[in-house]
Structure 1
């Protein structure tokens, strides 16, 4: 179920997500619109992996704690 939610969230365009710090924003403005969107997408892709991994590990820990409390 979690994987389905993640896939849907990635595939459904929800507008422009801004993932740039102030320095990256200034650099992207100088590059133009196409490269700026690519830079923004790259930042989002790099941020997704550790966040997804942390969420998965937290979910596994929560599930294991719930199972041990029931026994």
Structure 2
């Protein structure tokens, strides 16, 4: 069961298309900079937003993995 969950999570992470989301303020800033001819600010904002979005998922998945590994070691210690 747990292998299926990890497999489905891995498939969903690896098969995603690049996502770009912006708040209203960020969007207005990007639109103003693009009209001035600078598109580097928009790419930087998108990368920052994606970085902030991904970090909680990495932290939570790391905690879940460590918890799972600990419980597996405890089960092996009890079965011996």
Q: TM-score over 0.5 for the alignment?
A: yes
Partner Cα distance (1:54, 1:48) in 2: 10
The answer to whether 1:66 aligns with 2:72 is yes
Structure-2-length-normalised TM-score: 0.52
Q: Which runs of 5+ in 1 are unaligned?
A: 1-8
1:45 aligns to what?
Answer: 51
CA-based RMSD of the aligned residues comes to 2.6
User: Aligned pairs, how many?
Assistant: 60
Structure-1-length-normalised TM-score: 0.56
Q: Which runs of 5+ in 2 are unaligned?
A: 1-13
Larger radius of gyration: 2
Structure 1 residue 25, shift from structure 2 partner: 3.2
Partner Cα distance (1:65, 1:20) in 2: 40
